[in-house]
Amino acid sequence: MTTAGAPRGGDPASPGREGRALEVELDGVTKRFEQGEGAALRGITLGVEKGELVVVVGPSGCGKSTTLRIVAGLEEADSGGVRIGGKSMAGVAPQDRDVAMVFQGYALYPTMTVRENIEFPLRMRKVDPAERTKRANEAAELLALGRLMDRLPSELSGGERQRVAMGRAIVRRPRVFLFDEPLSNLDAALRQELRVEIGVLVRELGVTAIYVTHDQVEAMTLADRICIMNKGAIEQVAPPRTIYETPATSFVATFIGAPKMNLLEGTVADGAIACGPFKLVAPPGKALPDRVVVGVRPEDVRLVGASDEGATPLEVAVAEPLGAETNFVLRAGDVELRARAPGFDPRDKGAAVHVSLAGATLHLFDPAASGARLG
Ligand SMILES: Nc1ncnc2c1ncn2[C@@H]1O[C@H](COP(=O)(O)OP(=O)(O)O)[C@@H](O)[C@H]1O
Ligand SMILES: [Mg+2]
């Protein structure tokens, strides 16, 4: 797949979208840990534009933190290179890279006040006291920390501590922000609130940022572009909408979107795809192999009346009313189908229903291990 979904970057002179310069470039980065089984990174090539917020998302252990740590200089690549602002980072120490990293564990100094914590990186860099105070005040204003400046970390909530950690990163005015799951220690409500704040902040500051998370909602809502990793490799880099509407692989298709996209085994013959109890019209003008994987998003699975077009009988295995919508798991023989209906749907477990896939957007994937999108 060399469509919009393919990762870009790598060529030092290659411009970003609309000709914007690339601020961070990873070029074929590989990494294998001595203790690890297999390669942690299997050739990561990614270009992040100046002022862009790229969210790197993927399951636990896929190599997100390792990628970020290599950009920060905390870990060394086995092969491949990293450039920041067009300069090779080979042999450049972490403190000389002009990046600031915000981690999951915020690690504030417990005996220092909020102000002292925020000013600390400037003190280390021997910035004069007046300038330190000025920058700390600016950060405090941006992060609404003003009234907390004289408190100790132990006197703060988790969300406030994470804001202080961000303040400490901001005062350095780094070229690049690196976030590694900064919100995963927080409860759901706070996570949502801070997620919005981080998005606003990064855009207000106009800095370049790489934000790592395993949370697809953070990825969809924060990113200019999402980079989806799986088993040490990038599967797709694209804006959130493209990722959702045109997933490059079956892995991407099921990783983003909740409930997950349905993947059904299909057999192609005479312009039709036989797929469990469904007989679907194959998209015209596409040369398809005999066997395909058919992806259908739950919102495209329509519950219909028995006499409607394409009505196929199934049984409700699970019904989950969430308020705004009801999620179903439906069953016909050994085929399972996730469906999503608006509002409180009256159907219960065990009910007989009819489903139509007529008019549904079909995503077709190669049944081979790559799961590449077909056409
Ligand atoms: N210091 C290390 N020593 C050995 N293996 C490691 C080390 N750090 C990471 N790994 C392994 O490398 C892979 C990627 O890890 P990581 O980048 O932390 O994943 P993620 O952040 O996506 O959860 C995992 O299999 C992990 O076990
Ligand atoms: Mg990690």
Q: Which of 245, 249, 225, 215 is nearest to 235 (CA)?
A: 249
Spell out which residues have Cβ within 5 A of ligand 2, the ion: 65
371 Rama class: left (phi>0) / alpha (psi -120 to 50) / beta: left
| CATH number, domain containing residue 24 | 3.40.50.300
Give me the residues of the chain with pLDDT under 70, please: 1-19, 105-106
With the most atoms of ligand 1 within 8 angstroms of its CB, the residue from 66, 74, 213, 227 to mutate is 66
Pairing of strands 176-180, 99-102: parallel
Same domain, 31 and 175: yes
pLDDT value at position 4?
40
Whether 279 and 241 map to the same domain: the answer is no
> Is the C-beta atom of 68 inside 6 A of ligand 1?
no
Task: Write down the residue that tokens 């000013």 correspond to.
Answer: 119
Q: Is 66 in the pocket of ligand 1 (CB under 6 A)?
A: yes
From ligand 2's centre to the CA of 289, what distance in Å?
A: 38
Nearest CA to ligand 1 atom 2: 33
Residue nearest to atom 18 of ligand 1 (CA): 65
Q: Do residue 213 and residue 300 come from a single domain?
A: no
Together in a domain, 54 and 170? yes
Q: Is the peptide bond before 182 cis (omega within 30 degrees of 0)?
A: no
- 55: containing domain: 17-249
Residue 372 lies in a domain: no
- Residue 18's pLDDT is 61
Q: Is residue 371 part of a domain?
A: no
Closest CA to 52 of 222, 189, 183, 171: 222
Number of domains in the chain: 2
What is the pTM assigned to this prediction?
Answer: 0.90
**Structural domain includes residue 243:** yes
> Do 240 and 268 reside in the same domain of the chain?
no
Does residue 275 sit in the same domain as residue 190?
no
Query: Is there a single domain that holds both residue 111 and residue 191?
Result: yes
pLDDT of residue 63: 98
The residue among 205, 222, 249 that closes a domain is 249
Which atom, in ligand 1's list, is nearest to the CA of 60? 23
Cα–Cα distance between 202 and 52 in angstroms, integer?
Answer: 9
298 in any annotated domain: yes
**Is residue 374, in this structure, part of any structural domain at all?**
no
63 CA to middle of ligand 1, Å?
6
Give yes or no: residues 38 and 137 share one domain: yes
Residue 8 resides in a domain: no
Of 249, 273, 301, which one is at a domain's C-terminal end?
Answer: 249
Q: Whose CA is nearest to atom 1 of ligand 1?
A: 33
Nearest atom in ligand 1 to the alpha carbon of residue 64 is: 22
Single out the residue in 249, 278, 312 at which a domain terminates. Answer: 249
**Whether residues 181 and 93 fall in one domain:** yes
Beta bridge partners of 318: 329
301 backbone dihedrals φ, ψ, rounded to 5°: -90, 110
CATH number where 313 lies? 2.40.50.140
Same domain for 58 and 198, yes or no, is yes
60 and 132 belong to one structural domain: yes
Q: Verify that 115 and 236 share a domain, yes or no.
A: yes
